[in-house]
Amino acid sequence: MTESSFLLVVFATALLIIPTFSLGKHSRPKLKSENKVAIFVFGDSVFDVGNNNYLNIGIEGKANFPPYGETFFRQPTGRFCDGRTIPDYAASYANIPYWKPFLDTSYQNFTNGANFASAGGTVIPGDNPITLNFGTQVGYLQQVANLLNETLGHTEAQKILRNGIYFSSFGGVDYMYYTSENENATESEQLEFVTTVIGNFTYWIEEIYQKGGRKFAFQNVGPLGCQPEMKQSYNLTGKECYEFVQTLATLHNNALSNMAIELERKLSGFTYLIFDFFTTLNDRIQDPAKYGFKESNIACCGTGTNRGTGCGRTTAYELCSDPNEYVFFDGGHPTESCYSELGELLWNGTSDVTWPLNMKQLYELEIYSADDGHFIDHKVIASSLISHQDIASY
Ligand SMILES: *[C@@H]1O[C@H](CO)[C@@H](O)[C@H](O)[C@H]1NC(C)=O
Ligand SMILES: *[C@@H]1O[C@H](CO)[C@@H](O)[C@H](O)[C@H]1NC(C)=O
Ligand SMILES: *[C@@H]1O[C@H](CO)[C@@H](O)[C@H](O)[C@H]1NC(C)=O
Ligand SMILES: *[C@@H]1O[C@H](CO)[C@@H](O)[C@H](O)[C@H]1NC(C)=O
Ligand SMILES: *[C@@H]1O[C@H](CO)[C@@H](O)[C@H](O)[C@H]1NC(C)=O
Ligand SMILES: *[C@@H]1O[C@H](CO)[C@@H](O)[C@H](O)[C@H]1NC(C)=O
């Protein structure tokens, strides 16, 4: 090999590294300070800020009564929490107001995004037909896209949609329903169901991509088997968790990571993060004192051995005096205190809890520049450089 062709190979190899580098910390196109990033929130009760208040469903599917909301909003909002939840913290860090539910009919122009999440929301429509499943929520995104296009024009609307973050929390409810009917399923049957859930989830992510979405934040499924509600219904004591549903969550989270890697390969400009809700919450459940909590097996609010059910809606529910001491507010949902720690980890945590980026990095990534009116697409830029080199090497 001659010296010059050797250098060419080195140079071409260096160029091959560019796609990785362009997603790295330093050479990424940075968001211009005057541009705000919208956040579009999809999911279940972990992200619902009151959409279910507007649905014709029973009280079990709602959280619009006391003591929900007692710590921060000082009134129930529909959040399954005593205060703010992870999407609220994400909004604060992104400098946008706390969420109103999308279904709230008071004026919203959606330039900051929208929250479509619905407690009980599933990926597979048939799993729970009475709340807003992922497909329904993506339909609402289309309504928002149409409205932005009508009010701001195509270019501005595309700028919001391309630079926006699509933040989702899905799967948990599908696995809770599956568990209630298939508790004896073998691991390969479980895996088959996980594949179906991930297959449908992927379909809707690709739909969002078609509408302009490029920046995705996936919160994975939490440690379902360790929730006070589960411990109570399976008569588990102490730190014991219900392993069946815990396995489903783990299988799902592995499949979710693989899905994201696949989509990054397949879809030009697709960027993502996975926030490890499972591990960050499980750490606090297993060792509450380390994170400033006193109790993680029993919820702050509810009835039964673990106060696992009925918060605010049975005549004799119990309520703790200081939710800050608890990891869980009700049997299935963390306290504001816990969510505030997780929200910070999502925003600026290290790659052991949010990978390959954290939300701050995803936020600052500029996909569409309105000034020159064209898309910045890392992979297209990188691959055009590579093919340029390939041609030069002939
Ligand atoms: C949208 O509403 C926000 C306040 O909620 C306001 O600051 C912004 O100017 C509005 N944008 C448009 C285009 O109306
Ligand atoms: C956006 O609105 C324009 C009219 O302002 C219309 O011609 C166009 O079809 C709309 N685009 C989409 C994607 O809805
Ligand atoms: C699971 O198996 C147990 C005992 O083997 C049985 O009692 C139970 O009915 C089974 N559950 C379902 C949903 O088939
Ligand atoms: C979506 O879910 C349905 C079950 O509701 C299943 O039959 C179908 O195979 C799933 N789609 C994919 C792409 O996995
Ligand atoms: C839990 O204990 C209660 C009362 O002791 C019993 O009725 C129930 O069947 C048990 N549930 C399970 C899943 O073992
Ligand atoms: C994240 O931000 C908070 C303040 O908002 C700060 O206290 C903390 O040190 C930051 N963590 C990292 C890893 O940068």
State in Å: Cα 228 to ligand 6 middle: 30
d(CA 244, ligand 3 centre) in Å: 13
**Could you say which of 22, 44, 45, 340 is catalytic?**
45
Ligand 5: residue whose CA is nearest its atom 1 = 235
For the Cβ of 189 lying below 6 angstroms from any atom of ligand 3, the answer is no
- Ligand number nearest to the C-alpha of 110: 1
Would you say the CB of residue 142 lies under 6 angstroms from ligand 2? Answer: no
Residue whose Cα lies nearest atom 1 of ligand 2: it is 149
CA of 235 to the centre of ligand 3 (A): 16
Alpha-carbon distance 137 to 131, whole Å?
10
Whether 154 lines ligand 2, by a CB cut-off of 6 Å, is yes
What is the distance in A from the centroid of ligand 3 to the CA of 184? 6
For atom 14 of ligand 5, which residue has the closest CA? 234
- pTM, whole model, 2 decimals? 0.88
Closest ligand to the CA of 195: 4
| Dihedral, 353, 99, 203, 55 alpha carbons, nearest 10 | 130
Above pLDDT 90, what percent of the chain?
Answer: 81
Residue to mutate, 35, 109, 147, 150, ligand 1, most ligand atoms under 8 Å from C-beta: 109
CA distance 280 to 355: 13
Atom of ligand 3 nearest to the CA of 181: 13
- Domains in the chain: boundaries: 3-375
3-state secondary structure the chain: CCHHHHHHHHHHHHHHCHHHHHCCCCCCCECCCCCCCCEEEEECCCCCCCHHHHCCCCHHHCCCCCCCCCCCCCCCCCCCCCCCCHHHHHHHHCCCCCCCECCCCCCCCCCCEEECCCCCCCCCHHHCCCCCCHHHHHHHHHHHHHHHHHHHCHHHHHHHHHHCEEEEECCHHHHHHHHHHCCCCCHHHHHHHHHHHHHHHHHHHHHHHHCCCCEEEEECCCCHHHCHHHHHHCCCCCCCCCHHHHHHHHHHHHHHHHHHHHHHHHCCCCEEEEECHHHHHHHHHHCHHHHCCCECCCCCEEECCCCCECCCCCCCCEECCCHHHECEEECCEECHHHHHHHHHHHHHCCCCCEECCCHHHHHHECCEECCCCEECCHHHHHHHHHHHHHHHCC
CATH of domain 3-375: 3.40.50.1110
Residue of 88, 127, 174, 330 with catalytic role: 330
Q: What is the pLDDT of residues 207-250, one digit of tens each?
A: 999 999 999 999 999 999 999 999 999 999 999 999 999 999 99
Of 229, 234, 235, which is best to mutate to test ligand 5, by the most ligand atoms within 8 angstroms of its C-beta? 235
Cβ–ligand 3 contact at 183 (below 6 Å): yes
Q: Is residue 95 within 6 Å of ligand 1 at its C-beta? A: no
Question: CB of 143 closer than 6 A to ligand 2?
Answer: no
Closest Cα to atom 3 of ligand 6: 344
Instruction: Please confirm, yes or no, whether 330 is among the known catalytic residues.
Output: yes
- Cβ(156) to ligand 2 under 6 A? no
Closest ligand relative to 183 C-alpha: 3
On whether the CB atoms of residues 367 and 163 are closer than 8 A, the answer is: yes
Digits of tens for pLDDT over the chain (394 positions)?
A: 333 433 333 333 333 333 333 333 334 455 555 568 999 999 999 999 999 999 999 999 999 999 999 999 999 999 999 999 999 999 999 999 999 999 999 989 999 999 999 999 999 998 888 999 999 999 999 999 999 999 999 999 999 999 999 999 999 999 999 999 999 999 999 999 999 999 999 999 999 999 999 999 999 999 999 999 999 999 999 999 999 999 999 999 999 999 999 999 999 999 999 999 999 999 999 999 999 999 999 999 999 999 999 999 978 899 999 999 999 999 999 999 999 999 999 999 999 999 999 999 999 998 765 445 555 554 443 333 333 333 332 2
- Ligand 5: atom nearest CA of 234 is 13
Give yes or no for residue 235 CB within 6 A of ligand 5: yes
Q: Is the peptide bond prior to 67 cis by the omega test (within 30 degrees of 0)?
A: yes
